[in-house]
Amino acid sequence: MRNELENLSPTEVWKHFYALTQIPRPSKHEGQVRDFIVDFGRKLGLETIVDEVGNVIIRKKASPGMEKRKGVILQAHLDMVPQKNEGTPHNFEKDPLDPFIDGEWVKAKGTTLGSDNGIGVAAAMAVLESGTIQHGPVEALFTIDEETGMTGAFGLKSGLLSGEILLNMDSEDEGELYIGCAGGTNANARFTCGETPVPAGMVAFRLTVKGLKGGHSGLDIALGRGNSNKILNRILWISERAHGLRLAAIDGGSLRNAIPRESFATVVIPNENKQAFLDEMARITSYACNELSAVEPDLKIQAEPADMPVTLIDEKTQKLLLNAIYSCPNGVIRMSNEMPGLVETSTNLAIVKSANREIRIQSLLRSSVDSAKTDLEQMIRSVFELAGAEITFDGQYQGWKPNPGSPILKTMQEVYNKKFGKVPEIKAIHAGLECGILGGIYPKWDMISFGPTIRFPHSPDEKVHIPSVSKFWDFLVETLKNIP
C-alpha cells in the first residue's frame, strides 16, 4: 500500500502524508510525530525549534530574488482524532493506520484517516523540502492538541514568529477560502451517585446503540445525524417509568468534538416486566429508525442478556440523570442570519460515562456570536443545576471575526481565478480553527484557511478527495509565488 499512495500526484505531498499515517498521533500523544517533524527539519538543515508547550517551528529562507516578500506562516496541527469501528483491533497510541485508495478517495481501514490535518502537515513539509518552489521567508508552525483543547495554539508565545501572513491549511472544501470560524466551550457536568444492591427478581440486559455515522461536531452538526447518547437515554427514560428499569452503568461517546456513534448501558428489569420491556424496545427502535432513516440507515439498537451487576446507581440520581440528559440541548440551536446556510450556534452532547460513583457528561458548545454562546452555557447550566449536578465550563476559545478586506484574501482570489478559471467561494466555518486563538496572540496577522476536500472527519468514514489534493497543492505553490 505504501507504493500505491506514494504514486499519487502530487508525489511530494502524498509521500509525506503516507509517512504520517504510519506514526501514531492521537491528541495528547504527539511525542512520536513531534520527534519525526523535528528530525525532518534538522536533516534539511533548517532552523527547527520546539516551544515550551510542544509546538514545532521550522524556518526556511526566501528563494533567491524573493527576500523582500512578506513572511508567510504555513500552519497545520500534528494530532488527529482517534475513532474506529466496533471490532476494529487498533491501538491509536501504538499502531500505524492502514490507508487505501477507493476510486477518487483515500480512506483508512476501520479508523479515522488523519487527513485532518495530515494533508496540511504534509503540504508544509513538501514546501520546506522543495528546492524549486518560489517563495519569500517561510515559517512552518506545527501545533499540538488541536482536536482536544487547542492547547498548542493557546500556549504559543508572541514574538516567536516574524511572518505577517498565516496560511492555515485545516479547512475541508477545496475551492473555498475561509475567513472566520466559531468559538467554543466545553460544558462538564458531574453527578455523584450512591450504590444500591440489586433487588431480587431482576433480569439484566446490556443495551447497545450503534451503527450511527457520527462525524465532526461542528462541520456535520447540521446534517441531522443521530446522537447515540440521546437515543439511548430515550430508551432508559421511557423504560424507567413504564417498566421499572434500573441503571447499573452507562458509557456513551468518546470525544467531545465527535458526534457520538455508540452508547452502551447495563440495566436490570423486574423479571415480570421482561417481555413488556423488550416489546417497548422494539417500538422505540422502530420509531428511531424511522425518524432517522434518511441519514442513519445502519442504526442498530439491541438488548442482550447480561451478567447481573453487583450494584446499581441509586434511584434518585438515576432519575435526575435521565431527566437532565433528556432536557439537555443538542444539535443546531440557531442558523446565521448574516451567512445563509451557516450554523451560528450549536451543541453536541458528546460523552456520558459512569465510573467510581460518578457520572460525567460533556458537551461541546460552538457559536460565532459570543453572547449566543454565553446564553447556551446558561441554558445548559440551568438544566444540570436543576438536576443537582455540578457544572463547569472550560476550554473556551474565541472565534475568528471575518475580514472581507483582507489583502491576502484578495491575492488568493486572483491567483485561484487565474489558475482555475473561477473565483473561490468566501466562507466562515462552524468549527474551531486555530486562527481565532492565533490571531489573538498575533493580532496583526492577515489570515486565510483553506485545504483539500475531506469528508466525514472525526469518524471512521473519513476520506480525502485525491484530485482536490492536487488542486490544493497547486494553489498553495502559486500563492507562495505571488505573495506581495
* CATH code of the domain covering residue 128: 3.40.630.10
d(CA 279, CA 301): 13
pLDDT class of 395 with cuts at 50, 70, 90: confident
Q: Does one domain contain both 317 and 348?
A: yes
Give the mean pLDDT of the chain: 96
Given this model, what pLDDT does residue 3 score? Answer: 72
Q: Does one domain contain both 133 and 194?
A: no
Residue found by looking up cell 500526484 in the block? 9
Q: Does one domain contain both 386 and 252?
A: yes
State the pTM of this model.
0.76
At residue 82's C-alpha, the angle toward residues 471 and 3, to 5°, is 50
Which tens digit of pLDDT belongs to each residue from 67-80? Answer: 999 999 999 999 99
pLDDT class of 398 with cuts at 50, 70, 90: confident
d(CA 13, CA 418): 23
Mean pLDDT of 2-21: 92
Q: Does one domain contain both 50 and 158?
A: yes
Given this model, what pLDDT does residue 1 score? Answer: 46
pLDDT class of 399 with cuts at 50, 70, 90: confident
Domain that holds residue 103: 2-181+399-481
Q: Does one domain contain both 354 and 381?
A: yes
Q: Does one domain contain both 13 and 87?
A: yes
Mean pLDDT of 256-263: 94
d(CA 441, CA 153): 9
Q: Which of these three, 343, 378, 397, is where a domain ends?
A: 397
Domain CATH code at residue 238: 3.30.70.360
Which tens digit of pLDDT belongs to each residue from 441-469? Answer: 999 999 999 999 999 998 899 999 999 99
169 pLDDT higher than 90: yes
Q: Does one domain contain both 113 and 240?
A: no
d(CA 388, CA 279): 33
Q: Does one domain contain both 21 and 136?
A: yes
Cβ atoms of residues 232 and 349 within 8 Å:
no
178 φ/ψ angles, rounded to the nearest 5 degrees: -100, 130
d(CA 448, CA 33): 25
Q: Does one domain contain both 218 and 342?
A: yes
Q: Which of these three, 379, 397, 415, is where a domain ends?
A: 397
Q: Does one domain contain both 383 and 258?
A: yes
Q: Which of these three, 397, 432, 459, is where a domain ends?
A: 397
Q: Does one domain contain both 53 and 90?
A: yes
Given this model, what pLDDT does residue 341 score? Answer: 86
d(CA 255, CA 282): 29
Q: Does one domain contain both 57 and 164?
A: yes
Contacts for 58 with CB less than 8 Å, ≥ 6 apart: 37, 40, 41, 46, 47, 48, 128, 139, 140, 142
Residue type, 20: L
Number of separate domains in the chain: 2
Please give the positions annotated as active site.
79, 146
Mean pLDDT of 87-104: 96
